[in-house]
Structure 1
Amino acid sequence: MDMSRLYNHLIVRRIGPPARKQPQQRNDRVALGKCETCFDERAPSDLVKFSCGHKSCYKCLEKFITGALRDESMFPPQCCGQPFEFDRFRIAPELYAEYHQKMIEWTAPKREAHDGACVIDQATKELMELAVKEGWQQCRKCERMVEKTFGCRHITCNCGHEFCYLCGADFLPWRCNCGENEYDPGAEEDEAAVEGDPRDQAIAVIGGLDADLIMIPSRILDRGESVLANEYHETLGGKGANSAIATYRTCHKRPLKDQGGVEYPGDDNIQVKMIGAVGDDRYGQKFIVELNENRVDVSGIVTVPDTRSSICFVMVETSTRENRCLFTLGATATWRKQDFSIPEQLGGGTRPDLAIAQMEIDKEVVETMIETAGKAGIDSCLNAAPATPIGKRVYRHVTHRLANESEAAIKSGRDRDEVNEESWPTIAQEFLNRGVRNVVITLGAKGAFYANAMGSDHCLAFDVNIEDTTGAGQVDFLGLLD
């Protein structure tokens, strides 16, 4: 017997035939990208990349475009100062048609200068006749026609030019060319009140616009400790932005999705305007789009070049849903006292009926706001957060003053544990003695304590499921508005 053949046969039987080469498994999962506006994850085909490098989903892209088509000051739609390249995007034909029409309407070149009188075409002639009939004014800088629907005669055009609506002349502080009389910003309001003519009311919310970077750990970490967070979110916030949206929703009818169109009671004649500052970054444009979507007037928002928007780092404890906030001012720090020295500046060019402020802005700037409002007879609401002491002379101009327990302790010179049911009336009375007309101390789950010249009381809180306390402090004053 050929032992070598037998040996080879046993080896083959023991080892077996050569193993088949297994095909490599294909990973068919497509890597997702993130929209830098809504922060949702999307397939690459559902994202567009702007020339500046930022990415957006098509839903947010349409919001950007729609917002720019509503407000000429935002046109053309852009990111980081660079206009969108529409030939690279898949957008609805009707939206592109509207964009093309606005491009013609808003960017058409002016007529070239020439000798002699201008030849006025029939359409222009009819427009000018209609303007005279309706009492419209024409901006001397950009030549746009302007119609005033409410407010004082001090007009700020979209191009930035300020003029008097009655005489059309350039507007100077407190004076115009309507005659020798000094300009009185409250004259029209007084006349309307005498005649019983209802007019729209304006609420100006002056405060911070912060991009919130939110970590949700199981507990708040101690000094020198590192804790793994369970969740991370990026969203838009800030005491100013939160207050503005909450104010609009409180004052206007709004259908409830889960109750088949039931409406909140409200007044459609109330305008809410946001007065704030953002940087020329991706967050700044998001704020304008989102506030527009929530029907807040954004004409009072200033974009500061070469500056970052304000950033707030938020920690939310999983078990209690209580939060801790750490923020940088960014563009919010650019406000100065002279920016709020006359009543019209409180409303971004128009005199408001109520000015709402927080302490996110420099203390001296806030004090100027309150004093300007008080001297002009404009109601003010000061949400004393973050806790920053203000000059005693300012309190007599404050109509409504709100503070939580920690802020009340700091402002009244007490320890936190000294703010309790026994001390609430004393703390409130101290601020009333300084000239504040209405004082509210918010107490979290215990409700709120209020006091004024008519009396005081403790209002218990509603029994609700706590999801997150972030932003809750900015809506406490809405009970006053309601």
Structure 2
Amino acid sequence: MSTVAETVTAFSVVDFSDNATEAGPSMTFVERQADTIKNMSIEFQCVACIERVPRTNMAVAECGHRYCANCATKLFMRSTHDEGLYPPKYCKRLIPLALVARYMDPNELAAFQSATVKFATQHKAYCSNRACGAFIVPDNINSRTRRANCAKCGTDTCSDCLTSYHHDSDCPDDPSIRQTKELAESLGWQTCKACNRVVQLRTGCNHMTCICSAEFCYVCGVEWKNCNCPPADIDRIEKRAEEIVERDAPRNILPHERRARLNEVFAKLQDNHE
């Protein structure tokens, strides 16, 4: 049978001081270490999956809510695919990357840091190669020549009109773009005033965040919070939350886990679109 001292060694607990702890000055070294191990094994409920997890495998948000390592990582990774969920929040408060980074592998960390650069870029450029369409980082854009080079496929794109790169100072009139804009107007779609991209709203509220980071009202097109247009109703936000959960949740997710995730996404959509 293992002794308490052997158990302490196996867990690599590193508090080797003889100073008194909260447990009291009369405790021996072995007793203090046993008390530490006991505290480490205390479990709390994850607010996302509702599972009970040891406290050492949880991230605690500033608001006091606790995420298990798996759900915390998924929360951060979901935000890299949907700017509406970035940056990760809970109870309207940002969740620092430092709380979750230790649970993420190098690829996940790199993906999140890449998304941070992408979402922070005001005027985004994407590869004009339709088979690629990758985001082009600002460092790969020559502001003088407007040449944006895609690091993924090597294609050069005009950072102004986002078509294949051209040496002319004026961007060419693209018939397909003109026809798209005419169609958009006839269908009541909105155009981003910052980058001229056409936006169609299917679910969610009227607070639009373009891929260029510009925020505007879908009803009138003016900068967000500068009009009196009504926000979308709750049903449309719920539909958007359903889409996100359906897209990201595993197929074998349990009903109560799905409901918890749906509530989480719904709350975040409300927070990010106020």
Do both share a fold (TM > 0.5)?
Answer: no
Q: Select the structure of larger CA radius of gyration.
A: 1
So what's the TM-score if we normalise by structure 1? 0.27
Q: Which structure dedicates a bigger proportion of its chain to helix? A: 2
So what's the TM-score if we normalise by structure 2? 0.44
Greater relative contact order (Cα 8 A, min sep 6): structure 1 or 2?
Answer: 2
Q: Which structure dedicates a bigger proportion of its chain to strand? A: 1
